[in-house]
Amino acid sequence: MASEETLIVDCDTGIDDALALLYLLGDPGVRIGAVTTVFGNTDPGTAALNTLRVLELVGRSDIPVAVGAEHNRRGSRHLAPDVHGADGLGNTDLPAPRTSPIAEPAAELIVRMARENPGTVHLLAVGPLTNLAAALQLEPELPRLVKHVTIMGGAMLHPGNVTPVAEANISNDPEAARIVLRAGWPVTLVPLDATMTEAITEEQRRRLAEFGSPVTTFTAAILDLYLDFYAQHAFGERKAACHDPLAAAIAVGDVEPLLAPVVPVDVETGDGPARGMTIADLRGQYRGFPESGAAAVRVVLETDRAFGDRLVDRLCSDVPNLGAA
């Protein structure tokens, strides 16, 4: 990660969001300026409490956590207790955090930090894009102030995970996703095409449990339900996709995509069966630059499929706060 960058992580803290945060927190060269929460895997209030739990686990209660959108731009939402548990963290029923979210709303925090740190803020969005769209509405100059946006979301050549064509984060607020992708700022999109090919396995979960640090004991516990879900609904064995952690690693430069064309991307916002579909004109990869006026998005289609080991190695490392107790 560039030394002058400050990350704002916008998330709906369920299991893979927690893994993404721990991955980032395990790198002393990564500066997280704030975390904002949104509905998605769970409601934004619960997501904020889960985020505070993660931060307290590694002694980083100094990072502010702001609560964001309860619903999408149409006033509805879909949560995922079947995937992440009723508490968002695998039904582990952890004690309440000692700290609380700040009073400042998420969108206002994003705008304020971008104004105070022009050209250095990197937004990492791993939930629905409602907070980012609201921030753009508050500050139309935000694309000029923000250095980069990395988004976990969408499905290009891969099937969707909530409908045959739509991925959950984009599907939860297609209108917001269209606003964000069309805003004119530099965007890297990490869709299911990449994240479904990067997995964490039951063998790796056992390695985390056996390592025995507070962080690895926590991650092994929250992964139990997650692997069950993916075994039943996706892979037929106990392994789970590394959605949010992979996007985090790409955002800070730890994973270099093997295929990531810069192409026009749009989102279907109608009410038919294609609602929430991300549409990339992949023919554009041969032209070098998108046509004038089109949304220029770097779309990660392929990585080296070795990230599961990288994630577990990081969590089992001797980095301060992530090592053995």
What number is the average pLDDT over the span 213-236? 97
Q: Give 142's contacts (C-beta < 8 A, 6+ positions apart).
A: 110, 111, 114, 135, 136, 183, 185
Predicted confidence band of residue 281 (pLDDT cuts 50, 70, 90): confident
What number is the average pLDDT over the span 296-301? 93
Give one DSSP letter per residue of 250-310, joined into a string.
Answer: HHTTSS--SB--EEEEEE--SSSTTTTBEEE-GGGGGTSSPPTTS-EEEE--B--S-HHHH
Contact of 258 with 235, CB cutoff 8 Å: no
Helix (H, G, I), strand (E, B) or coil at 11: strand
Whole-model pTM? Answer: 0.95
Q: Which tens digit of pLDDT belongs to each residue from 8-38?
A: 999 999 999 999 999 999 999 999 999 999 9
Q: Give the Cα separation of 300 and 266 in Å (integer).
A: 15
Q: Give 293's contacts (C-beta < 8 A, 6+ positions apart).
A: none
Catalytic choice (78, 122, 148, 243): 243
| Per-residue pLDDT at 4 | 83
| Per-residue pLDDT at 291 | 52
Query: Measuring CA to CA, which residue among 318, 315, 305 is closest to residue 207?
Result: 315
Predicted confidence band of residue 317 (pLDDT cuts 50, 70, 90): confident
Q: Name the percent of the chain lying above pLDDT 90.
A: 90
Q: Give the Cα separation of 255 and 242 in Å (integer).
A: 13
Predicted confidence band of residue 292 (pLDDT cuts 50, 70, 90): very low
| Per-residue pLDDT at 294 | 52
Tell me 102's DSSP state. B
Q: Check: CATH 3.80.30.20 for 11-316?
A: no
Q: Give the Cα separation of 200 and 125 in Å (integer).
A: 21
Q: Which of 2-11, 44-53, 91-100, 102-111 has the lowest mean pLDDT?
A: 2-11
Averaged pLDDT of the chain = 94
CA distances from 301 to 93, 155, 156, 193 (A): 36, 9, 8, 5
Q: Where are the beta strands (DSSP E) in the chain?
A: 6-11, 32-37, 65-67, 121-125, 146-152, 187-190, 199-201, 239-241, 262-267, 278-280, 296-299
Report the chain's C-alpha Rg in angstroms.
18
| Per-residue pLDDT at 284 | 59
Contact of 32 with 7, CB cutoff 8 Å: yes
Helix (H, G, I), strand (E, B) or coil at 62: coil
Examine the pLDDT at 172 and tell me if it is beyond 80.
yes
Query: Measuring CA to CA, which residue among 141, 10, 2 is closest to residue 67?
Result: 10
What number is the average pLDDT over the span 104-108? 98
Q: Bin 324: left if φ > 0, else alpha if -120 < ψ < 50, else beta.
A: beta
Predicted confidence band of residue 321 (pLDDT cuts 50, 70, 90): low
Examine the pLDDT at 85 and tell me if it is beyond 60.
yes
Q: Where are the beta strands (DSSP E) in 131-185?
A: 146-152
Q: Which of 179-188, 210-219, 246-255, 291-300 has the lowest mean pLDDT?
A: 291-300
What number is the average pLDDT over the span 297-309? 97
Q: Give the Cα separation of 225 and 85 in Å (integer).
A: 7
Annotation says 84 is catalytic:
no
The owner of tokens 């392994």 is 239
Residue 263: strand pairing partners: 297
What number is the average pLDDT over the span 82-110? 96
| Per-residue pLDDT at 77 | 95
